[in-house]
Structure 1
Amino acid sequence: MTERSHPDVLIVGGGPVGATFARVLHERAPQLTVLLVDAGPQLTPRPGQHVKNIPDPAERERAQVRSQGPTQVVYGTPGIGARRAAAEGEAPARPALLARPGTFLLRDAHGMADDMPAAALSTNVGGMGAHWTCACPPPGNTERIPFLPSAEWDAALQDANRLLAVTQAAYPDTDVARAIRQALQGAFHDTLAGGRPVQPMPLAARTEGGVRVWSGADVVLGPLADGGAANFTLLPDTLCQRLMVDGPRVTGAQLQDRRSGEVWTVHARAVVVAADALRTPQLLWASGIRPAALGHYLNDQPQVLGAVQLDPALLPASPGPAAGGVSWVPFHAPAHPYHGQVMELEASPIPIPVEQDTGTPVVGLGWFCAREVRFEDHLAFSADHRDDVGLPAITVHHTLTPTDHVVIERAKDEVERAMAALGRPIAAGRPFVLPSGSSLHYQGTTRMGERDDGTSVCDATSRVWGVENLYVGGNGVIPTSTACNPTVTSVALAVLAAQAIARALAQPAPVSSA
């Protein structure tokens, strides 16, 4: 084992959250040296780009396959009928049904996910940020973290929107888009509150030269993605095998070049682990850092799906753009413990069938449900069995409660109400629930807390309890029951954490006696 140069800050995980730590540190403390490592390959010349921005379909497919860890195959693209069959147990659970292109199932990495059969990951620079839908709705009332000061939290959310380049104008505001929103507002006016009507979905996307450009980790990295920042280094295909702990501090990490097999150590004044909500707690556990709440409070949002052919009355009388973009039906508990999105084909992460298409546009409807967050729902890590990269194998324990089932049934009613307002369902039967894990919005496994009482892993700055210089990032840090897409919340929390690191490292590093 060899040693290399030692950064001030080591960041493990190159998704949007790891990129946020790097970018904010660069802005707040440019004198600090930062090393960012990711276990997966760099898919594009500019690191962390969204694969939708790759113009050549064949090259885009290759990038997706390279992100799929142990599952280096091209997946099929089944429609709603196949997804329904998988959800209802009518077809064998195959990656083509459960994992979307660019992701691989946890069980394919030698994990046990019977309680969450669609639990999936991506291994590439940019993480899920190379494959996500770019939906960035801000958290509403009970989704917000109650012990964070409102002004500080709102400022962090604003900064997250800046870093992700979030806008509500990613799609043109066509007559069809306005008609869809008006119909949805009429259907849900009795349950929406808090100044959050139906509106265009905030999206991390922009239009350049008539082409839609989707934000990935490269947008968050900003100038760091263009190279030339002397104090920033990105190493793809570099696995963090364990963190090195000395008393109340992490001194560095053991890394492995996955191409050559070389193993070396780096030392750092601060370490950030932002691998994702499954692999961040896995690495901490493998390193002997095991707070009581580590891996617990696992939260996956049940997702109810439907599709509808738009009523011709919603379409313009004269020829013109028919695109509806993405409309947002906001969360507001307790009357509306859901986050709804109505998407045209381009924006939908799940293929929408058009077998009954008569030329009228089809839109997909997805309702994410807030659920009870419980200690019992957790990840267990094996002391005896290893996954595909040699870390402790993960077993998922995750069960819906009777209350969760009530919420899901109400969500089905809501999707039916939305479909009735918009047109004609294109599939027989009720809206259906996708297999557990399909949301890819896993949260809570390194949750933030107000005090070190055994119910959280880190404090309000994302610093792990009992460790002076170890920080965690990602959806796993979110402690509340949410229905909204979590990325903008996780990026906001990373902004606050990176600011804390910049303050903590403001003093010069101690001179080594070595």
Structure 2
Amino acid sequence: MNREFPTQADVVIVGSGPAGAAYARILSEQSPDANVVMFEVGPLLADPPGIHVKNLPGDARARAQRLSEGPAPRDGASTDTMKGYADASQRLVRPGTFLLPDGYRMPGEDGLPGAAMSSNVGGMGAHWTGACPRPGGKERVDFIDDLDELLSEGERLLGVDDRVFEGAPYSAQVRERLAELLDSERPANRHVAPMPLAVRRQQDGGLVWSGSDVVFGEPTRSNPRFTLIPEALVARVRHEHGQVTGVIVRDQRDCTEHTVDAPVVVVAADALRTPQILWASNVRPHALGRWLNDQPQSVYAVRLRDVESHADVDHDSTEIVPESGVNWVPYTDDDPFHGQVMQLDASPVKLASDDAPKPGTIVGLGWFCAKDLQESDRVEFDDAQLDGYGMPAMRIHYRLTDDDHSMIQRSRQAMMRAAAALGEPLDDRDPLTFAPGASLHYQGTVRMGQVDDGTSVCGPTSEVWGVAGLFVAGNGVIPTAIACNPTLTSVALAVHGARSIAANITSTKG
């Protein structure tokens, strides 16, 4: 049977990831009388909408991952969230994501062979690691005066906690060893610390990971004027004379098209599909798709030295368990990379059969670099060829500069120095640097700017230059070369945009 689509709304939100969910939450709290409709191209995975797949049991998790994998889901039922951690494959495939089938590398360029997306209610927020560090130094968007307050609000919406593993014995030892090595070289506010995580611990000790369901919260779920419609592709944003007028939506179930009138549209697809929708809508400012930013990522693993086994843990598991934890080596301007040190209860590399480690003692290190931002790094769109959703096909132009290669080497050296302070290498292999795109932290393609000078797509509140009522959201809005995990920053910027919409609705109706 055909579904009923609304014909009008006060606000349309395109995409249900953490940034889109933040718009829905703030509008539900601050403009409860506004009719808000959210369209998501992917399916509903489970109840509540936007739940993280780690919170689902094995069979349900595998099903949710397959449903998230776009137009052509893979066969198989892997729920291994560490799958590929030490895989040197150029085209690393993670459960719950799908790769670009082509166009990911142009001749003579590095490209983004690891570029991947998810299509599901909750977006990548149903599959992410939950790491929510705050940006520092040049990572920060310096023209947002109240950024710290916005980051705090983002932490509230995401349910961030930096103490969830504070009782983990190995985690504390890891942090102490890293602090002894590094803290004297760092500003006081960038010392080694527990990683802030979007996760909460239940009374029984179990972990509940935040997805968009946590960001939506009860204020959104109980809002009678909020509607979420899954399996609905927003093909175009409608606009006339510099003003948004609504969207054209294609029902993915029966391929019918529907027109929805709205004076405000928020496109929060992701850093690749948000510019795609604008391009298809003939909203094409010079900076659209440009300044594409990935984070070069290297990983390594060691066995902790001089530690005792604290519990009988199944070390063949890939879950983070109470013996484990996640620690953080923050970015600084002098060391423009970000370290994530995670204790793994299964080795990310194959161990000899007679060399099984004490449970919880294999430590994985991951270092992310800030990119040397270039306007020429971009995603373009081919109107003559369509992707699996019938949208203009993507073409990635992306190069690592000499400065990038130098920074990758510096970050690998910094990671090895940290590793040596923690323990012994598992074998004689060097650190692995993933192929571009593997970070899944793409940014910059609809970047924010202080003024409309051709180097940005939107202003400080995320409203697109020259198209009143059109907002963009997600990691693509971030204009700086950040090395830290970007979700908290993108949610904070979404809060800023949502507040401006709510204030305008209040003043208009007042």
TM-score, length of structure 2 as denominator length: 0.91
**Which of these residues, 10, 14, 17, is aligned with residue 15 of structure 1?**
17
Matches of 2:311 and 2:226, distance apart in 1: 54
Q: Displacement of 1:176 after TM fit?
A: 1.8
Find the residue that maps to 2:506 and give its secondary structure. coil
Cα pair 1:245 1:251 within 8 Å, conserved? yes
* SS at structure 2 position matched to 1:195: helix
In the TM superposition, what is the alpha-carbon distance from 1:173 to its structure 2 partner?
A: 2.5
SS at match of 1:368: strand
Residue 133 in structure 1 maps to residue 129 in structure 2 = yes
Q: CA deviation at 1:85?
A: 3.6
How many residues are paired up?
491
**2: CA distance, partners of 1:509 / 1:5:** 20
Equivalent residue number for residue 115 of structure 2: 119
Distance across 1 between alignment mates of 2:249 and 2:427? 50
The 3 A distance-change label for structure 1 pair 81 and 277 is closer
1:168 and 2:162 correspond: yes
Q: 1:39 to 1:362 in 2, by over 3 A?
A: same
Equivalences for residues 89-488 of structure 1 within 5 A: 93=91, 98-107=92-101, 110-113=102-105, 115-149=111-145, 152-208=146-202, 209-224=204-219, 227-311=221-305, 313-315=306-308, 323-333=323-333, 335-345=334-344, 351=348, 353-355=350-352, 356-359=355-358, 361-488=361-488
Q: Is the 8 A contact 2:88 2:434 kept in 1?
A: no
Distance 1:261 1:19, change over 3 A: same
The residue number in structure 2 matching 1:86 is: 89
The two structures, once aligned, show a CA RMSD in angstroms of: 2.4
Unaligned runs of 5+ in 1: 88-92
The one-letter amino acid of 1:329's match is: V
The amino acid that maps onto 2:73 is Q
Alignment of 1:495-506 (within 5 A): 495-506=495-506
Assess if the C-alpha contact under 8 Å between 1:176 and 1:316 holds in 2: no
Q: Give 1:344 shift.
A: 2.0
Maintained 8 Å contact 1:80/1:353: no
Task: Tell me the equivalent position of 1:40.
Answer: 42
Q: Partner of 1:100: helix, strand, or coil?
A: coil
Deviation of 1:179 after TM superposition, in Å, equals: 1.0
Cα separation, partners in 2 of 1:5 and 1:310, compared to 1, 3 Å: same
Deviation of 1:191 (Å): 3.6
CA contact (8 A) 1:269 1:509 kept: no
Once the two structures are TM-superposed, the CA of residue 113 in structure 1 deviates from its matched residue by: 3.8
Q: Secondary structure at the match of 2:60?
A: helix
Match in the other structure for 1:90 = none
Query: TM (normalized to structure 1)?
Result: 0.91
Q: Give the deviation of 1:78 after TM superposition.
A: 11
Helix, strand or coil: the match of 1:506?
helix
Query: Which residue identity lines up with residue 71 of structure 2 in the other structure?
Result: P
Q: Name the CA distance, whole Å, in 2 between partners of 1:258 and 1:35.
A: 17
- Give the superposition deviation at 1:129: 0.1
Q: CA deviation at 1:316?
A: 6.5
| Native 8 Å contact 1:187 1:418 kept in 2 | yes
For residue 331 of structure 1, report the CA deviation from its aligned partner.
Answer: 0.7
Specify the code of the residue in structure 1 equivalent to 2:89.
A
Identity %: 45
Q: Which residue of structure 1 lines up, in the alignment, with residue 318 of structure 2?
A: none
3-state SS, counterpart of residue 22 of structure 2: helix
The Cα of 1:260 is off from its aligned counterpart by: 1.7
Task: Decide whether the 8 Å contact of 1:4 with 1:266 is kept in 2.
Answer: yes
> For 2:189, what is the secondary structure of its paired residue?
coil
Secondary structure of residue in 2 paired with 1:45: coil
Alpha-carbon distance in structure 2 between the residues aligned to 1:337 and 1:194: 16
> In the superposition, relative to structure 1, how do residues 234 and 80 fare at CA in structure 2: closer, same or farther (>3 Å)?
closer
Query: 2: CA distance between counterparts of 1:426 and 1:180?
Result: 17
CA 1:3–1:422 in structure 2 vs 1: closer, same or farther (change >3 Å)? closer
Task: Measure, in 2, the Cα distance between the counterparts of 1:197 and 1:185.
Answer: 7
For 1:221, give the aligned amino acid.
F
Aligned AA (2:237): L
Amino acid at match of 2:356: D
CA–CA distance in 2 between the matches of 1:222 and 1:100? 28
**Is contact 1:244-1:252 (8 Å) kept?**
yes
| Alpha-carbon shift at residue 186 of structure 1 (Å) | 2.0
- In structure 1, what is the Cα distance between the partners aligned to 2:190 and 2:234? 42
Q: Shift of the alpha carbon at 1:345?
A: 2.5
Provide the rounded CA distance (Å) in 2 between the counterparts of 1:351 and 1:51.
21
Deviation at 1:508, TM superposition (A): 4.5
**Partner amino acid for 2:26?**
V
Where in structure 2 are there 5+ consecutive unaligned residues?
314-320
Once residues 391 and 23 of structure 2 are traced to their aligned partners in structure 1, the CA distance between those partners, rounded to angstroms, is 24
The alpha carbon displacement at 1:79 in A equals: 8.0
CA contact (8 A) 2:5 2:258 kept: yes
Tell me, what secondary structure is at the counterpart of 1:10?
strand
Which residue identity is paired with 2:15? G
Tell me the amino acid that sits aligned with residue 14 of structure 1. Answer: S
- Tell me how far 1:133 sits from its aligned partner: 0.2
